Amino acid sequence: GENVEQHPSTLSVQEGDSAVIKCTYSDSASNYFPWYKQELGKRPQLIIDIRSNVGEKKDQRIAVTLNKTAKHFSLHITETQPEDSAVYFCAARDSGTYKYIFGTGTRLKVLA
Amino acid sequence: GAVVSQHPSWVICKSGTSVKIECRSLDFQATTMFWYRQFPKQSLMLMATSNEGSKATYEQGVEKDKFLINHASLTLSTLTVTSAHPEDSSFYICSAWTSGDPYEQYFGPGTRLTVT
């Protein structure tokens, strides 16, 4: 089955700097890759997603890139702000079962 | 649109009792609902996939007799934790998927279960 690895597990950046989180997946049949932000005790919130037929997608300060050949995708946050501090999860969706397999999460701290 | 609710938001129960958690899609019909469990500082682990009117499909290692899932309608799925033990204490989150939007899953707010 699908396996998703995520790095780093923790990331501290200064306010205004960029943050990059990387994920790799194992199943080449996966065709959808969402990124979630989760605050303590809350539901995951979709912040950006990318489909397998696209290499890059941007939404204001957030961007995601996908390399299908290498089976990895990355989240880029620019001009980070303290409110970006949270846990971020990547996921890969199996094209046959529609299941999401989540990465292990990255705890991002933006230092003011 | 695409709102998913869960009830209760938190529950405390005694060891050996059963607890039922409801997951509802409020403004759309959910073809499929997924149940996840999340332990503190860990990722979301898929427990089972539930389709309306059919038996749930459980992930490897998840006891189907302990975690009973019923998907009686296109807007409601329930998870019953039977004979709960302290190690079942966790954050349980459901999500709903509709064939009308075949990519995104919509997450419920989660249920914090504490077994004493």
Mean pLDDT of A66-77: 96
The answer to whether A49 contacts chain B (CB < 8 Å) is yes
Q: How far apart are CA A106 and CA A86, in angstroms?
A: 8
**pLDDT score recorded for residue B101:** 65
**pLDDT score recorded for residue B98:** 82
Is residue B40 reached through a cis peptide bond, with omega within 30 degrees of 0 on the bond before it?
Answer: no
| A44/B107 CB distance under 8 A | yes
Q: How far apart are CA B89 and CA B13, in angstroms?
A: 10
| B102/A98 CB distance under 8 A | yes
Please report, in tens digits, the pLDDT of each residue of chain B (116 residues total).
Answer: 689 999 999 999 999 999 999 999 999 898 899 999 999 999 999 999 998 888 899 999 999 999 999 998 999 999 999 999 999 999 999 999 887 666 789 999 999 999 99
Residues of chain A in contact with residue B108, where contact means CB-CB under 8 angstroms, are 43
Mean pLDDT of A101-108: 97
Q: How many other C-beta atoms lie within 10 A of the C-beta of residue B55?
A: 12
**Given pLDDT bands bounded at 50, 70 and 90, which one contains residue A9?**
very high
Nearest C-alpha of chain B: how many angstroms from A2? 12
The answer to whether A37 contacts chain B (CB < 8 Å) is no
Q: How far apart are CA A11 and CA A76, in angstroms?
A: 13
Query: Residue type for A80, please?
Result: T
